[in-house]
Structure 1
Amino acid sequence: MTPSGRQGRYDAWRNRERYHIARTLGGNDFSEIVEDCTVSEGRRKAAPVRRRGKRHWALRVLGWLAALFFLGVIAVTAVFFIGYQTTDIPDPNKAFATNTTTVYFSDNKTPIGSFFDQNRRSVPLSQIPKTVQDAVIAAEDRTFWTNPGISPSGMARAAFNIARGQQLQGGSTITQQYVKIMYLTQDRTFSRKFSELFIATKLSRQKDKKEILEGYLNTIYFGEGAYGVAAAGDAYFSKANPAQLSIGEAALLATVLNNPTRFDTDSTEPVVKQRVLDRYRYVLDGMKQTGTITEADYAKWSKAVPPIHKKKKANRFKGVQGFLLDMARKELSRLGVPDDQISGGGLRITTTFDKNLQQKMNASIAERPKNKGDLHIGMASVRPGTGELVAMYGGSDYLASQLNWATLRARPGSSFKPFAVAAALDSGDFNIYSTFQGDSPIEVQGLKLKNEFNDDYGDVTLKQATEQSINTAFYDLIDKQLDNGPSKLVDMAEKVGIPKTTALERGRNNPSTVLGPDPYASPVEMANAYATFAAEGMYVPVHTIKKVDYPGNAKDWTDAQLPHKQVISKELADQVNYVLQDVVEGPKGTGKLAKDLDRPVAGKTGTAGGVAVEHRAANAKCDGCKDGSDTLTSWWTGYTAGYNSPTDSKGLATSVLYRAGKTGESDLDPFSDDAAFFGGNWPLRTWLAYMEPALGDTDKAEFPEPSDDALKDSPTPTYTPSNTPSNTPSNTPSNTPTNTPTNTPTNTPTNTPTNKPTKTHTPKWPTIPTGGPPTPGNGDGNQ
């Protein structure tokens, strides 16, 4: 049938249907009825029936949501009302001043000490100046005089943090904080928090606000063992009478009470000092807004924090153990333990510090240049695979100086190169026999970068470049051959344990990152990063707290809660360990002195050059003519085998750093007879003096061998060292170590090094020495 025929039959059928419809409806005129039907049909098609249904369901959903919201409001109100009515204000907690927290070595028997003497003294509100009262109110609770004892916005903020899985927050108003101290425990539980809200609301209605403020100002913890504003003024400014406090001093006390550890007025770190200043200005601004001080007062006092005049710390902080106590206190704060509880909560703190190992490390510091001068040693020892800091030396006496040279970050120099080795091998594009340019200089980003003393080495393998710490080979690897090399180097360093910092992140675009030219890491952090290699790629955060025992029924904390992560493969770790053993065992290794330990050792030297602080003015006048002429840091970080699991780890990873001068930015070279203060000499000697007795007669474990594929033969590279350059010392210093040196140099170093070479100036990118003393005849003075 043709299409026109089919259409005709369809039209006839439609007309019959319309005719029957018309007859049923009683119409006479077929065409009118058909037209009406057609119009009706068109209207039905145009009617938005489904849209009307969607609108209907949307309204119903909104209605249900509104109803649920109001029911929730009613329920919350009912719960609060019932809780308010059924909660009584308990008797004041007369024992809130209770016990001193005690800190122990890892044996949980031998005490290291306690943090503070408890300093508590109450004074009536009439003896506390209005400036002091208003400073605290501006810092902690600006609506104190008008709020009902609680802060709805603070409660909402706490609920939001809890929903995100963060820690349950403390009371946000002065009344809530006072209730927590005087009427409740320090436990961070929901039941305690709800009790705090109800009691704070009742207390605000039943007590005069002045009475609450007086109680608060006499019980709140200000740090330094001081409870109450009178004790705080005495502790920070040696002013026992609060009436003697200046506007700035009152504002600074209000600043630190928020978190005495976070706002540490003793800290020398720029970020902490800025944090304190910002908070201090925030307090002053609040005082200005309430009319307590004038614009002129604000302008006068906001320029800088007032000077601190603290009393001498108790003898419990004297000596090396003061650094151990201080580090434990700071870590407790990072774990979220409130400062008042750290000081007087009656906690029993078990640290990771091993009493015997700590004694051996303290004794090892005697192995140092005899001309001590203003020379500093930072030292840290970590148990691989556990993250336990078993011994640390930050200085000889915490009371004399609070600068902890084991935790202060410094330029790592060539001790950063193992992270480059790991990044290269991890990429899959290189093996330990891949060859790189060892000649000097090498051009990177338009800059000519050199080996120490400008030595040439020809083409060298990655293994040889690491053994002898050849700068240009690592520039070739990271800045030329490895795709996005500096960034991959930073990624690897952060992966194995070097903290992510602004300085290190800048290294992603720095052609000298592989030589650690900026303060990237401390000895504690470097020891733990190398410990990751020793533990076959297992990383655990370095820590000093093993267990926190809370009084009563509070849940204790242990370091078993810390994460254990396999951050690199065992195969990769084995290859890095194999390469770093050559630094010790290789014929030209910069760390060959470590063979005296008489067991397998892997490690790396590091020496960072620059311009000492005492030479910087002259350097500026001569347009950088002294760039790279001084040695600012000198490292040896080495580790032994013996890791089987976190519960069976017998090796140690230990890092030693030498610095000079009040700020650690002076020239080290006058303390050595070497051409420079190389890491392969004094830092390694000090390391040996600790590691030999620390390891004693323990099993001399071997490092696991890399796979056969990793060690397969490759073409031997060209290796033709040049003749010793003219700026290499013509005479070997008398205390240069031989293959089997003694631990004590034969000659006492003088203030001026013998035959110290003049180093070639490279604008903006100074030559950076990298580790060990030069060996006669091989010209490898770049170590």
Structure 2
Amino acid sequence: MTPGGRRGRYDSWRNRERYHIARTLGGNDFSEIVEDCTVSEGRRKAAPVRRRGKRHWALRVLGWMAALFFLGVIAVSAVFFIGYQTTDIPDPNKAFATNTTTVYFSDGRTPIGSFYDQNRRSVPLSQIPKTVQDAVIAAEDRTFWTNPGISPSGMARAAFNIARGQQLQGGSTITQQYVKIMYLTQERTFSRKFSELFIATKLSREKDKKEILEGYLNTIYFGEGAYGVAAAGDAYFSQSNPAKLSIGEAALLATVLNNPTRFDTDSTEPAVKQRVLDRYRYVLDGMRQTGTITEADYAKWSKAVPPLDKKPKANRFKGVQGFLLDMARKELSRLGVPDDQISGGGLKITTTFDVDLQKKMNASIAERPKKKGDLHIGMASVRPGTGELVAVYGGPDYLKNQLNWATLRARPGSSFKPFAVSAALQNDFNIYSTFQGDSPIEVQGHKLKNEFNKDFGDVTLKEATEQSINTAFYDLVDNQMENGPAELVKAAEAAGIPKTNALERGKDNPSTVLGPDPYASPVEMANAYATFAARGLYVPVHTIKKVDYPGKAQDWTDAKLPRKQTVPQDVADQVNYVLQNVVDGPNGTGKLAKDLDRPVAGKTGTAGGVGVEHRAANTKCDGCKDGSDTLTSWWTGYTAGYKSPTDSKGLSTSVLYRAGKTGESDLDPYSDDPAFFGGNWPLRTWLAFMDPALGSSDKAEFDQPSDDALKDSPMPTNTLTYPPTNPPTNTPTNPPTNTPTNPPTNTPTNPPTNTPTGKPTKTHTPKLPTIPTGGPPTPNGGTVGQ
């Protein structure tokens, strides 16, 4: 065919078509019209091609996604089917009979004691009333009667936790929990979880639900060493017959079995009590929804948890060691060890408690006022740079009183001032910055005073800390430092004081520097000061060193503890320098610590308010007793010797005195001082422990601050001296056998010569709440400065 053949005819025909279209549209120039038509036609054809391409790409992606989804479903189904078919229900655990868990001191050889032996008594389901059955189902697995033995939502939650790198958690059905107890181990691994799912599914198909529920109710751990509902009723309510349990008692047992430590019915902490009540009401609500109880029953029982009638704890908790066992148990639970394993898993628990130091601390409590009554001592000692709680005194006998005075938080008073020093040094102040020492000082429209309203003139930060001058610290935190209270709280939390609601409120509180709320316990205060002793290295305080499981061990010290430089090293060195002056300075409130005959840094603290026994009268007289009582009295001090986390010879020890059944009574009647100052009895008790605890160990010195930090010093930087080997003749090493009528001449309070013979009224700080967890203070109450 010639070149002008078919293709030529096609082009000629297309041009004629364009020509006729153009003439119809009114065009004249054929070439322009053809060109325009060609471009227009090209544009018309190009757009649809692109749109079809986009749709095609999107459809292909959706197709691949759908294919992958269905392949995934098929794969999961295949895995589950194969796993189900190849999994046999094993014989019940012969090792379910629990083994005693033993707790040791840090040497791993000397036992502190053991946890509960197994307490279990099985009863048939026919003897367990419907209220008890339904309470447990409402708490743990509301779809128990209809589900296939597993919970897809629980599986999803477990997968999510694994993806986040967290420990595999619960969310299991009653059937799964029963399988874990009777057929598997307690370890939380992915393979064990899959075995649990397959066995639970098969067990749910092959066994009657009533049989599974009966087995579960007779084996699940309820706390207090009780396995099964019959033993639990006996342990919590002295009622071994489940048929005689009330609705409320059944609901409370179902409440605690979820986590006996988290839902601790013995706890006095408001947050834990509220947590128990909320869970208890959740259980009752589930019983109401299923028709087990009526609206009237719910209204009656949901008002409060029923009263407990527990049997006395075993003698193994008698004495001081009961507090050590209780603290170890609570920490194990926080670490994720299941409660039933803690009680009967046959574990070997090695704690951080040093047997020799613990004996010395127990003996040191004898150094106290002769008048005892309801006088309480809380004491704790931490190894700087390690976070190890090496000794603790929570009370004389855990069986007689479970209030642990070493872990209960209290008002720290002036013990909080070192954190203000740390905050100041990190906010362009130095230890020779000057502040107002005269009394009173005006803060946010309120006139706040020094102890005994004494004037000191302008003072440096170093002098203000040495003599515990309140107005200087008010001037620093509330007047001169930008966002002072918030910076103070930030510095306290960096050192190791826990972040609590009470402390967070302090960010807007003009009295935060004098610790008017229960910010810290002796354990927490000792560890926060230990951060300074370790040159700013913070390690969480802990009591568990190692856990030996049957067949394996886990070292919690290395595996679980973060170490972080939370305070700059140069700042920590300066804080240590300033706090040494509290002991060595001519007017230091802690100069009695010179008797230790080695470098010591520390701080006194007393917090005032109105004792619980005076609050009714104070209300009647419109606050006339505000600030007249001493509610807490502290000495926290530490020694040098820290080189590294594996080479730390020093100790940081905190001593707290409180009075009254709840620790809210007046301390002043126990001392002949103008007030129960921290520089007297708390410091004496501290000495009675630290002297034998440190013995003849090296008398290490603290690292000196840099020359730049001390360049504004009014005196040479090497003038800081330590006490002579023999203490001054007028400094009694032991307290006098008879309480003197007048305060000893070395009492580190330096009251003015015109100190009134009667008890002073401490009215220089905002008013304290009448309970430790009260809200923001108002003027004219009292936190004592020393």
Same fold (TM over 0.5): yes
Change (3 A) 1:154 1:482: same
CA contact (8 A) 1:139 1:283 kept: yes
How much is the aligned-residue C-alpha RMSD, in angstroms? 2.1
CA contact (8 A) 1:532 1:539 kept: yes
Query: TM-score, length-normalised on structure 2?
Result: 0.90
Three-state SS of the structure 2 residue aligned to 1:617 is helix
Change (3 A) 1:423 1:739: farther
CA contact (8 A) 2:432 2:713 kept: yes
Asked if 1:325 corresponds to 2:325, the answer is yes
Change (3 A) 1:715 1:585: closer
Change (3 A) 1:436 1:127: same
Three-state SS of the structure 2 residue aligned to 1:568 is coil
CA contact (8 A) 2:547 2:554 kept: no
Three-state SS of the structure 2 residue aligned to 1:417 is helix
Residue 759 of structure 1 corresponds to 762
- How far has the Cα of 1:50 moved from its partner? 3.7
- How far has the Cα of 1:713 moved from its partner? 3.0
Residue 42 of structure 1 corresponds to 40
- Residue 25 of structure 1 is aligned with which of 4, 8, 15? 15
Residue 734 of structure 1 corresponds to none
Aligned equivalents of 1:455 and 1:98: distance in 2?
A: 65
Asked if 1:133 corresponds to 2:124, the answer is no
Residue 390 of structure 1 corresponds to 390
Residue 292 of structure 2 corresponds to 292
Asked if 1:366 corresponds to 2:352, the answer is no
Change (3 A) 1:555 1:647: closer
Asked if 1:143 corresponds to 2:157, the answer is no
CA contact (8 A) 1:352 1:388 kept: yes
Following superposition of structure 1 onto structure 2, how do residues 382-781 of structure 1 map, counting pairs within 5 Å? 382-427=382-427, 429-553=428-552, 557-714=556-713, 740-745=731-736, 747-748=738-739, 755-760=758-763, 764-766=778-780, 768-770=782-784
CA contact (8 A) 1:634 1:658 kept: yes
Aligned equivalents of 2:259 and 2:464: distance in 1?
A: 48
What is the aligned-residue identity percentage? 85
- My pick for the range that moved more, 620-629 or 79-88, is 620-629
Following superposition of structure 1 onto structure 2, how do residues 47-446 of structure 1 map, counting pairs within 5 Å? 47=47, 49-170=49-170, 172-427=172-427, 429-446=428-445
- How far has the Cα of 1:26 moved from its partner? 5.0
Aligned equivalents of 1:22 and 1:626: distance in 2?
A: 115
AA aligned opposite 1:662: K
Change (3 A) 1:153 1:380: same
Residue 724 of structure 2 corresponds to none
Aligned equivalents of 2:730 and 2:280: distance in 1?
A: 58
Per-residue CA distance 1:651-691 (angstroms, 9 max, x = gap): 00000000000000000011110111000000000000000
- How far has the Cα of 1:748 moved from its partner? 2.4
Aligned equivalents of 1:621 and 1:79: distance in 2?
A: 75
CA contact (8 A) 1:452 1:767 kept: no
Aligned equivalents of 1:419 and 1:739: distance in 2?
A: 33
- How far has the Cα of 1:623 moved from its partner? 2.0
AA aligned opposite 1:194: F
Aligned length: 732
Query: TM-score, length-normalised on structure 1?
Result: 0.91
- How far has the Cα of 1:632 moved from its partner? 0.5
Per-residue CA distance 1:167-192 (angstroms, 9 max, x = gap): 10135100000000000011111111
Change (3 A) 1:221 1:250: same
Consecutive unaligned residues of structure 1, counting only runs of 5 or more, are 1-19, 717-736, 771-781
Aligned equivalents of 1:651 and 1:622: distance in 2?
A: 49
Aligned equivalents of 1:703 and 1:462: distance in 2?
A: 20
Three-state SS of the structure 2 residue aligned to 1:541 is coil
Aligned equivalents of 1:555 and 1:684: distance in 2?
A: 38
Change (3 A) 1:227 1:23: closer
CA contact (8 A) 1:674 1:754 kept: no
Per-residue CA distance 1:519-546 (angstroms, 9 max, x = gap): 0000000000000000111111000000
CA contact (8 A) 1:137 1:144 kept: yes
Aligned equivalents of 1:561 and 1:290: distance in 2?
A: 43
Change (3 A) 1:234 1:266: same
Three-state SS of the structure 1 residue aligned to 2:604 is strand
Aligned equivalents of 2:364 and 2:261: distance in 1?
A: 31
Change (3 A) 1:551 1:143: same
- How far has the Cα of 1:738 moved from its partner? 9.2
CA contact (8 A) 2:673 2:742 kept: no
- How far has the Cα of 1:115 moved from its partner? 1.3
AA aligned opposite 2:302: S
Three-state SS of the structure 1 residue aligned to 2:366 is coil
AA aligned opposite 1:130: K
- How far has the Cα of 1:24 moved from its partner? 7.9
Aligned equivalents of 2:704 and 2:713: distance in 1?
A: 18
- My pick for the range that moved more, 749-758 or 306-315, is 749-758
- How far has the Cα of 1:49 moved from its partner? 4.5
Per-residue CA distance 1:508-527 (angstroms, 9 max, x = gap): 00010000000000000000
- My pick for the range that moved more, 759-768 or 527-536, is 759-768
- How far has the Cα of 1:714 moved from its partner? 4.8
- My pick for the range that moved more, 374-383 or 706-715, is 706-715
